[in-house]
Structure 1
Amino acid sequence: MDGKVALVTGGSRGIGAAIALALAQEGADVAITYVHGEEAAREVVAKIEATGRRGVTLRADAADPAAAVGAVERTVAALGRLDVLVNNVGIGALGPLADFSAETVDQVMDVNVRSVFLTSQAAAVRLGHGGRIITIGSCMAQRVPGPGGTLYAMSKAALTGLTKALARELGGRGITANIVHPGPIDTDMNPAAGPYAQPQAAMTALGRFGTSGEVAAMVRYLASEEASYVTGTELSVDGGHAA
């Protein structure tokens, strides 16, 4: 990926940070967005720069339509072009169906769906032949193992439809679009040693949590030249959660 530029939304921690670093290790300059945790974002950029690549932090609230679109233009302004968009930003919302307010529904859909659409729309204008749009979904878009997941599963399932439509819309320009569904992943938001970890691990075929690096490896492949004939697909990195 030497000379290419990637934008990873929500790249200051967890899966997003691992993806940003993996792409930098492949030779890409990488911009990351964050809304909270500027120090963490700067630490990720320091690791990117340690690989010899350029890194940029962009504060952008995905719930703000202008910020979602602006992240693309700010990436191009800072790094000169855009070759890979990774839609990683997202928020969780689990609970009884009756407890979700209209405001909560709007918040989750604004961040998890609208921002992905708008950022992809803006990126499509900038991406050239060989461009990549890679979206991070969720294992709950394929299998909801228990109650409480209505809102989150809906928001992530919507991204599958968007991805397939993007593949058709942009395929004639040599741009691919794919979605990666992580299973239970060991992050600070959902630690493998946390109080809810055991039942999550038990739902997988492998009986364990995955790592951010394992998800990043799939994204790295999809961003590569080797994946130029892969588009419109759902790829699971879920330890067999959907098996």
Structure 2
Amino acid sequence: MKGLAKSVLTIVSLICLVLGGGMAQASTSPEEEVLFQAKIKSEKELLEDALAGKRDPGLENLKIEVQALDDNGKKVDINIKKYYTVQKLKQTKRGNEITTDYVVLGSAVIDDPKSNPGVNFTQNITGYFSTTTIGTDQYAKATRYEAQYTLHDGNLLKITDAVFNARTEGRTPSGQNYFNQQNPTTISPVNWGQTYVKIPSWDYVNISGSGYCGGILTTKYTARSSSGTLVSTVGLGTP
């Protein structure tokens, strides 16, 4: 009996030692500290902020681009209004690493009242981005994109082709490179007012150098006898 009791005591001691070591190891891992957190605004509120030019500071290397193209892919000079807003959603710290989440809404309004009043619509693209600092470099990834269309007046305009794309490239924290990783999908038919969603699953990429992550909405349209293309981009880094 003494031998059995001694064996049991030894096993219990070993279990306590293992558990104690595991707990000690876990306790040395830095805990996540929430530095900032905000309730995400509604789509209506974000659009109002974009029209008012309201933007939270802190998001670096932001790329908001709008282009009008002809059927040959050349830029054309027609009236395009560009608006965007940035909302800081959350910031956390773990050790020396700080991670910040943002939402960016870019709105492009195309209006050609002189030559073709039928060309009058808005396309919005919203990107949800997470940025983090590793050493002296900044990394970023997109976690969600949304696209919406709004027709302003008349029914002369028709969208003939719409492509919603997510793209990323660059060096990941592990050193792996992504070149021109993308996921284009065709929106057909386009329903005015509907929200189209794209959820990328790619890793962070270094945007301090030549890395990039972004969402692109390319829309081909016709109105009466004319046609064209409107391209909207919301991204971080250098494509």
Higher strand share: 2
Alignment TM class, shorter chain as reference: under 0.3
TM-score, reference length from structure 1 = 0.27
